[in-house]
Amino acid sequence: MGQSGKVIIFSAPSGSGKTTLVKHLLGCDLGLEFSISATSRAPRGDEQDGRDYYFLSSEEFRERVLKGDFIEWEEVYSGSMYGTLRAEVERIWSEGKTVIFDMDVVGGLNLKSLYQEDALAIFVMPPSMEELERRLRGRKTDDEDKIRQRLAKARKELGRSDRFDHILLNNELEMAKKEAEERVRQFLGK
């Protein structure tokens, strides 16, 4: 298999702002490329196949699990599977780049145990549960049931934050962006 390299993992409860931070880092001159995950859930809003996710049917997803195509996968929400394709990571490394993941907490910790010292795992901490709820409602992409599922999951995830290399508080966005960039530069020696 191809050469190996380093990985950056950003994990957080959904609504913490990790995607905004990951997008910021991708725009910095750090040699990062986003690992596009595969999912069996339907596209939301203006999401596109091959850009936001590889959208697979549940059958395709299961077949590829059996073939061993994933380095990690999880049923994040009941009926919705998400996973990282081995080929995606190898493609990015073969370009001499560092892989950056935007991942839920369980997936992030699985990747950290897989890559160990070749991984920098950052937990993005929302200012409070109240603020997280406000942000989830503000996005207007999920119905009440989904929002409740996401909040219940977030409570569990906060309890696992101490297993990450760093906890990054996302209270003030500009400061969080700066800190994220500094941590990654330090890790990559750039």
Write out the residues near ligand 5GP by the rule CB under 6 A.
14, 37, 41, 72, 74, 76, 82-84, 102-104, 107
- Of residues 128 and 141, the one with the C-beta less far from ligand 5GP: 141
Q: Which residue's Cβ has the minimum distance to ligand 5GP?
A: 107
* Distant-in-sequence, close-in-space partners of 85: CB < 8 Å, separation ≥ 6: 37, 38, 54, 64, 69, 70, 71
DSSP state of 34: E
CB 59 to ligand 5GP: min, Å: 18
Give the separation between CA 32 and CA 168, rounded to whole angstroms: 19
Do residues 103 and 111 touch, judged by C-beta distance below 8 A?
A: yes
Cβ at position 29, least distance to ligand 5GP in Å: 25
Q: Which is nearer to ligand 5GP, 83 or 126 (CB)?
A: 83
Residue number, 33 or 72, with CB nearest to ligand 5GP: 72
Sheet of 98-103, strands arranged across: 32-34, 98-103, 7-11, 119-125, 166-169
Q: Closest CB to ligand 5GP among 156 and 190?
A: 156
Instruction: Give the residue with the Cβ less far from ligand 5GP, 17 or 83.
Output: 83
**Cβ distance 74 to 107 under 8 Å?**
yes
Q: Which helix (H) or strand (E) holds 71?
A: strand 70-77
